[in-house]
Structure 1
Amino acid sequence: MGLRWCRLFAAALTAILFLPFDAFSASEQAPNYTFMHNATSAPSVSYYDYIIVGGGTAGCPLAATLSQNYSVLLLERGGSPYGNPNITNLSTFGAALSDISLTSPSQRFISEDGVINARGRVLGGGSCLNAGFYTRASTDYVRQVGWDPRLVKESYEWVEKTVAFEPRLGEWQSAVRDGLVEIGVVPYNGFTYDHLYGTKVGGTIFDRDGRRHTSADLLQYANPTGLTVLLHASVHRILFRTRGRPRPMAHGVVYRDALGVRHRAYINRGSKNEIIVSAGALGSPQILMLSGVGPADELKAHNISVVLEQPMVGQGMSDNPMNAVFIPSPVPVEVSLIEVVGITHFGAYIEAASGENFAGGSPSHSSMFSPKIANNAEQLMENNDETAAAFRGGFILEKIMGPISTGHLELRTRDPNDNPSVTFNYFKESQDLERCVQGISTIEKIIESKAFSEFRYDTLPFPALLNMTANSPINLLPKHANASTSLEQYCKDTVMTIWHYHGGCQLGRVVDHDYKVIGIDALRIIDGSTFNYSPGTNPQATVMMLGRYMGVRILRERLSNEESR
């Protein structure tokens, strides 16, 4: 029984994460973005008021906002999300994440910790690849960062008009919700985007037709005469003026198109024009270092001329550890992504996802964690009776708030298309591990609750469920025989990512509270690399908000300065 369920778990977890939502047929029609072009059509030299490096979750709303009054160049190393059903359709969630080809919108990387992860390589960034959960940061987070609460609220609402929706809760998600309330994760706050202690239903970026809405959709608010978006434009370095200046000044970028042709783009002369890096938690520190801003010894080791020694670039890297428990169900369940969350006082978030009748799916195309999972799934597909039962169920996961544990990022090569080396040091700090243990214990209580009783086998006690997970190849870490009996070891053995990594260009260390790079003129960083902690239960809402928020702030500051002259 134990070995059989372990094999079934591996196949079922793979299938659940690749949810075949056959009920939906989402439209893939692209908006009429007349400002979007392939970089091969770009001139060899061009000039703009703002150059934004990275058309991801923050870069798109930032570009749309700044284009209202100024000329903006948005450089995205990937392609368009439109017309790609693996991005647009709920029915193929996960397929893009499993695609490891050079043209994939997802670029896989493996941290030095042995956890398989992914970064966006597409206009819209991570919002094109994730499970769609939408929720705001807490009011405490907003206050600690020093943001203007009124503008934060307005910026969230601007984003939500286009990309956020209320999900339709099915029986599995309802059972998890009711189980959370039953075991004391209270109060029940209903449907809300707000970050509130207790249990709530959050938002989703999938609409009622199963169509994903991403930060790229926010470009519809751009001034089409003020914005140029170049796809497949890989930025190799930022150019600085240093001669005769007390401090370096960013004034241009070098990028290459899909054919490898080199282009230069410069900001127009003007005291307020800037280059803004929004390349994400891996890309932004990587671009800074490739441009000569970072730890001097590391830069010299790669024969990169030091423009500014900044030892904190690449430091403070964190990834919220996720641990999941798979629960086979004796009855069919609906297909669902993350919709319900329990926000606990001890510092963990409890969420769930489910699937139904995955025997008809294609898990062989879907391994997000390890090719071994897909191989196991293919073998099980040969036994339809057993597989059909195995693919009924879902998993409940816990994610650590923060986290406290941090690591670092280093260059591997001087090619910006190569992944840097990143270490997250999962559970290095004991408090993170303690939170995981409490989170797993909370999952056990939910499974044993009356509200969840319809979806559990009484013949499969909780240790058996843990054993299924612990013996599945969900990461590259060595396994331990006592993982199912020691929750501490279970947390370490089964750690996965939930793609909420951040840091590398942190606020107060690399950038100031205006997101200007400390020690350099005309250069800002606006994205998740500036976060000291991951906001909310999912950061994508806040990253999109930050793009809009800082765009509005920049416009207001320039307008105020111009009026005061």
Structure 2
Amino acid sequence: MSTDQFDYIVVGAGTAGCLLANRLSADPTKNVLLLEAGKRDNYIWIHVPVGYLYCIGNPRTDWMYNTEATPGLNGRTLRYPRGKTLGGCSSINGMIYMRGQARDYDNWAKLTGDDNWSWEKSLPDFKAHEHHYKLDGGADPATGSNSRFSDLHGGGGELRIEKQRLRWDILESFAKAANEAGIESTDDFNSGDNAGVGYFEVTQKSGWRWNGAKAFLRPIKDRKNLTVWTESHVERLIFTTTGSGAKRCVGASVRRGGKPVTVRAKGEVILSAGAIGSPQILQLSGIGSASLLKSHGIHVVQDMPSVGENLQDHLQIRAVYKVENAKTMNTLANSMFGKAKIGLEYALKRSGPMSMSPSQLGAFTRSSPDRPHANLEYHVQPLSLEAFGDDLHPFPAMTASVCNLNPTSRGHVRITSNKAEDAPVIQPNYLSTEEDRLIAAQSLRQVREIMAKPAMQKYKPVEFKPGVQFQSDKELATLAGDIASTIFHPAGTVKMGRDDDPTAVVDSHLRVRGIEGLRVVDASVMPEITSGNTNAPTLMIAEKAARWIQAGV
């Protein structure tokens, strides 16, 4: 095999890229190159669940992006983490396994004109890579069998999904308060209807993070037809014109070890660099808005103004409550004895706070009774801090973060130069629509309603943020802008759609319009963001794409 000639080149060894490398290299007659700009995932804090605190904001594992100042956030900028290591964002994310709602995928089918994206036809692709703890041999205690779970979940796949290995009394009380507010309990957020309150399931195995590299690359490390290059930054794609006059992607220019290397694909190049990286690479390569490209001296291969547009994200509004008579992480982790106890429990049992995902308890509900479906997601935590990465508050407290699952605000990703090392502009335009501002106000009122229920009163909760003095829709929307932050779910910047949709960059099989031999396979292709966390949907997208690539369709 020539070192620079492959059948398939996958750009980005993140969530989608790792699965694609696994599936495409299963054919021993095909040579696959997987390119990753970051280093190997041999950094200890990638694998300890609470290690996300040391991976986000760390150039060893994070691209270190920031958003532009956003009017809806009252001029604030936000840190915008993206994984830069084998496993990509699955190496630094919150580990929450969440598919979203069946209606998300049925809507994708309508928007693309392709029934392959419906919930019914996407469910097998979710199940294909799952190794779900509910199918470890135990039966559903309610029915005495596991058929309900096996209809919805997979038991033989590479991705391990487990229960969280901890319990907090104050979270149990919040769940009861949510019940008192009319939110029923659920034992499965991934049935197609995630309405309810319960604990999130996580991509962990025996108390360790189970990232994309562990799931999909480690088991096939001896495949001779798979080549993995780390610290290999794709600077641009390479195109040629075929005899029929069509444009074709034939490879990529890569900076590896400080030197330029050209790699070529006989079959396809697949961009899986994520909702920020994929539009950036397309623009750097000459696919994007002609005016933007020309302003940076880039030759226009394909004028596609929609590349980098349609950015969607979940903005969480972090309501903080001081409490009494409760054990919280604030008190536990702010003492040497508490820290020692936490470390010992993890060392001995792989459980406790060091096995925590950033959010433990979840809830999905409606922001108002006139909503036809759950449009809010809660991430509830037995801790509080001013901003992600800051020290915990010195007083006992909990946080009830709530986000609008279906934002109508749209942002963009645009290059700032013709150099791959220069970060693009990221403007999410949070809270830029009246609907999003109204839902922000409604969600903060709903948090207050839950915290006022009898189940929470033994903790004497006192609203610390945003503060009870703020009551009107306008005040609450403004305060939401002060305290809200991203949950790191960017999507939609390389939108898929119908042939007659001028805003669609890729078709329903994820092929870049007007360019042969090039697909995009990651969260950027979502026409609308899913109603939940985006890691699981990205794996489903990659599962479909792998079949289509192998079939040449």
Identity over aligned residues, as a percent?
24
What is residue 61 of structure 1 aligned with on the other side?
19
Are residue 95 (structure 1) and residue 48 (structure 2) matched? no
Residue type at the aligned position of 2:228: V
Superposed counterparts of 1:129-278, under 5 Å: 129-146=92-109, 147=117, 149=119, 152-161=122-131, 162-168=159-165, 169-186=167-184, 188-194=185-191, 195-209=193-207, 211-217=208-214, 218-222=216-220, 224-242=223-241, 244-257=243-256, 259-268=257-266, 273-278=267-272
Report the Cα distance in structure 2 between the residues aligned to 1:492 and 1:155, rounded to whole angstroms: 37
Name stretches of at least 5 consecutive residues in structure 2 with no aligned partner.
71-76, 110-116, 132-158, 330-352, 368-374, 498-503
Report the Cα distance in structure 2 between the residues aligned to 1:73 and 1:546, rounded to whole angstroms: 20
Report the Cα distance in structure 2 between the residues aligned to 1:467 and 1:149, rounded to whole angstroms: 41
- Deviation at residue 516 of structure 1 after TM alignment: 0.3
Distance 1:497 1:167, change over 3 A: same
Report the Cα distance in structure 1 between the residues aligned to 2:79 and 2:472, rounded to whole angstroms: 20
Secondary structure at the residue paired with 1:338?
A: coil
Residue type at the aligned position of 2:275: A
Out of 348, 354, 358, the position equivalent to 2:382 is 354
Distance 1:456 1:163, change over 3 A: farther
- Deviation at residue 244 of structure 1 after TM alignment: 4.2
Residue type at the aligned position of 1:155: D
Matched residues, number: 467
- Deviation at residue 430 of structure 1 after TM alignment: 1.1
Out of 418, 424, 428, the position equivalent to 1:420 is 424
- Deviation at residue 219 of structure 1 after TM alignment: 1.9
What is residue 52 of structure 1 aligned with on the other side?
10
Say whether the 8 Å CA contact 2:62–2:81 is kept in structure 1: no
Superposed counterparts of 1:292-307, under 5 Å: 292-307=286-301
Secondary structure at the residue paired with 2:455?
A: coil
Superposed counterparts of 1:471-482, under 5 Å: none
Out of 525, 543, 549, the position equivalent to 2:544 is 549
Give a deviation string over 1:455-504, Cα, whole Å, max 9, x none: 344xx3x3x44249x9xxxxxxxxxx999992121112222111011121
Secondary structure at the residue paired with 1:442?
A: helix
- Deviation at residue 215 of structure 1 after TM alignment: 1.3
What is residue 466 of structure 1 aligned with on the other side?
466
What is residue 502 of structure 1 aligned with on the other side?
491
Secondary structure at the residue paired with 1:549?
A: helix
- Deviation at residue 339 of structure 1 after TM alignment: 2.9
Say whether the 8 Å CA contact 1:106–1:129 is kept in structure 2: no
Secondary structure at the residue paired with 1:516?
A: coil
Distance 1:484 1:354, change over 3 A: farther
Report the Cα distance in structure 1 between the residues aligned to 2:451 and 2:519, rounded to whole angstroms: 47
- Deviation at residue 552 of structure 1 after TM alignment: 2.6
Report the Cα distance in structure 2 between the residues aligned to 1:192 and 1:497, rounded to whole angstroms: 21
Residue type at the aligned position of 2:104: Y
Secondary structure at the residue paired with 2:186?
A: strand
Secondary structure at the residue paired with 2:4?
A: strand
Distance 1:201 1:181, change over 3 A: same
- Deviation at residue 116 of structure 1 after TM alignment: 2.2
Residue type at the aligned position of 1:158: A
Report the Cα distance in structure 2 between the residues aligned to 1:129 and 1:250, rounded to whole angstroms: 31
Report the Cα distance in structure 1 between the residues aligned to 2:474 and 2:438, rounded to whole angstroms: 15
Out of 84, 96, 106, the position equivalent to 1:121 is 84
- Deviation at residue 424 of structure 1 after TM alignment: 1.2
Report the Cα distance in structure 2 between the residues aligned to 1:247 and 1:52, rounded to whole angstroms: 22
Report the Cα distance in structure 1 between the residues aligned to 2:63 and 2:179, rounded to whole angstroms: 36
Name stretches of at least 5 consecutive residues in structure 1 with no aligned partner.
1-41, 357-362, 381-386, 471-480
Superposed counterparts of 1:553-564, under 5 Å: 553-555=548-550, 557-558=551-552
Q: Following TM superposition, where does structure 1 have runs of at least 4 consecutive aligned residues deviating by more than 6 angstroms?
A: 481-485
Say whether the 8 Å CA contact 1:80–1:231 is kept in structure 2: yes
Report the Cα distance in structure 1 between the residues aligned to 2:241 and 2:103, rounded to whole angstroms: 40
Report the Cα distance in structure 2 between the residues aligned to 1:180 and 1:207, rounded to whole angstroms: 29
Secondary structure at the residue paired with 1:486?
A: helix
Secondary structure at the residue paired with 1:177?
A: helix
Distance 1:246 1:131, change over 3 A: same
User: Normalization by structure 2: what TM-score?
Assistant: 0.79
- Deviation at residue 148 of structure 1 after TM alignment: 5.3
What is residue 411 of structure 1 aligned with on the other side?
415
Distance 1:502 1:133, change over 3 A: same
- Deviation at residue 394 of structure 1 after TM alignment: 2.1
Report the Cα distance in structure 1 between the residues aligned to 2:204 and 2:534, rounded to whole angstroms: 16
Are residue 515 (structure 1) and residue 515 (structure 2) matched? no
Report the Cα distance in structure 2 between the residues aligned to 1:297 and 1:48, rounded to whole angstroms: 34
- Deviation at residue 400 of structure 1 after TM alignment: 1.0
Say whether the 8 Å CA contact 2:413–2:493 is kept in structure 1: yes
Report the Cα distance in structure 1 between the residues aligned to 2:387 and 2:448, rounded to whole angstroms: 26
Are residue 329 (structure 1) and residue 350 (structure 2) matched? no
Deviates more, 1:138-147 or 1:103-112: 103-112
Say whether the 8 Å CA contact 1:405–1:429 is kept in structure 2: yes
- Deviation at residue 441 of structure 1 after TM alignment: 1.1
User: What RMSD over aligned residues (CA atoms) do the two structures have, in Å?
Assistant: 2.6
- Deviation at residue 284 of structure 1 after TM alignment: 0.4
Report the Cα distance in structure 2 between the residues aligned to 1:417 and 1:56, rounded to whole angstroms: 19
Report the Cα distance in structure 1 between the residues aligned to 2:403 and 2:302, rounded to whole angstroms: 37
Say whether the 8 Å CA contact 2:57–2:64 is kept in structure 1: no
- Deviation at residue 180 of structure 1 after TM alignment: 1.5
Report the Cα distance in structure 2 between the residues aligned to 1:111 and 1:532, rounded to whole angstroms: 23
Secondary structure at the residue paired with 2:204?
A: coil
Distance 1:106 1:213, change over 3 A: farther
